[in-house]
Structure 1
């Protein structure tokens, strides 16, 4: 007598679940490999291009007003001109959310002034201008003393700063935003016989951090 062998429904279900599990595993490995290759290509492009930091230099700074009114309240007016250059020949730069201000002895002496966002192509340069103002800004009690001491020394040293965000552009790919900070030092002749406006045109190179 011949025997008829047949698979039970439990065996069929186990085989079907095994096939689905293999398919899901294969799909996961395929997608993982694809995204790994894409990330590796982007990383290699980044390493090859390795964008250099933007370069900034101070072209001119003019102080039209810097005087205390009342107890440690400052009125200020400063005109700023910066030269900006993208040194990369294959990477463009988007500048976003730019804020400029002036500081003296660690104290901010103007309000933040917004600069319009812009794009800087390969090895392009731009001039940036800003009017920095402050009205009734509270200063520490030592502010007047520090200004008087610098007047006796014959020079006034200001920090002119720009903070913002930038994005690198390579072909059609645009990076995420990175914070960047620019710090320029301006040294101006300042003595008892010197009157406003004070001016600096020495073209100082600024430090940039990204």
Structure 2
């Protein structure tokens, strides 16, 4: 005769309670571990407190800026920016970099991509891009605004860059943060046609937002 073994409901309840306690202990252990890791990273972040990168306009030369139709613009500009990492303990990865030129709030070149790069502690890098546009639509007032600037003897352009950056502390690398750069360039622009490209009068410090 075969013997059938059965466990009482009370025994099953005790076993289930024991398993629940084990899972809870494991959950609390993992939670405590991740909390300590996050607190440690946050503490390092507060101690190092990385400063945002600095950009300045080194050179901007306009080779072409004319209308091919009533409201269509052709443009070509050579741009050189200086990028500096002011941090002595934090490196910076730059990703998805793009640059373009604007005039009185209107984009006058297409977005131009720049290669990604890493910037070490207190390191500086020159960034060069050739900005251009063919048949770009502009506002009806564009030609009037340019003629007025030509009469005043100078033209002001904005050179803008944007992308994503990651902070690097030791072997730890942060998530991505979007940043925007705005550089203002003042160029001599008289009534007579220049023999060469229009060049920026002086280098300027750019504003950077992260």
Fold-level similarity (TM above 0.5) = yes
For residues 17-36 of structure 1, give each alpha carbon's deviation from its aligned partner in whole angstroms, at most 9, with x where no partner exists. 11111111111111110110
**Does the 8 A contact of 1:59 with 1:201 survive in 2?**
no
**Does the 8 A contact of 1:90 with 1:122 survive in 2?**
yes
Match of 1:207 in 2: 207
Whole-angstrom CA distance in 2 between matches of 1:194 and 1:161: 27
Match of 2:3 in 1: none
**Does the 8 A contact of 1:75 with 1:134 survive in 2?**
yes
Count of aligned residue pairs for this structure pair: 203
Whole-angstrom CA distance in 2 between matches of 1:77 and 1:144: 17
Establish whether residue 173 from structure 1 lines up as the match of residue 172 from structure 2.
Answer: yes
Whole-angstrom CA distance in 1 between matches of 2:98 and 2:44: 31
Structure 1 SS opposite 2:191: coil
Alignment of 1:9-48 (within 5 A): 9-48=8-47
Could you tell me the TM-score, scaled by structure 2's length? Answer: 0.94
Offset at residue 194 of structure 1 (A): 4.7
Q: Which runs of 4+ in 1 moved over 2 A?
A: none
Structure 2 SS opposite 1:47: helix
Offset at residue 193 of structure 1 (A): 2.3
Whole-angstrom CA distance in 2 between matches of 1:194 and 1:51: 47
Structure 2 SS opposite 1:69: strand
Structure 2 SS opposite 1:148: helix
Whole-angstrom CA distance in 1 between matches of 2:186 and 2:47: 39
- RMSD of aligned residue pairs (Cα, Å): 1.0
Offset at residue 201 of structure 1 (A): 4.6
**Does the 8 A contact of 2:186 with 2:201 survive in 1?**
no
Structure 2 SS opposite 1:24: helix
Alignment of 1:109-124 (within 5 A): 109-124=108-123
For residues 109-156 of structure 1, give each alpha carbon's deviation from its aligned partner in whole angstroms, at most 9, with x where no partner exists. 001111111000000000111100111111110000000111111110
Whole-angstrom CA distance in 2 between matches of 1:82 and 1:101: 12
Whole-angstrom CA distance in 2 between matches of 1:38 and 1:140: 54
Offset at residue 80 of structure 1 (A): 0.5
Alignment of 1:120-199 (within 5 A): 120-195=119-194, 196-199=196-199
Establish whether residue 95 from structure 1 lines up as the match of residue 94 from structure 2.
Answer: yes
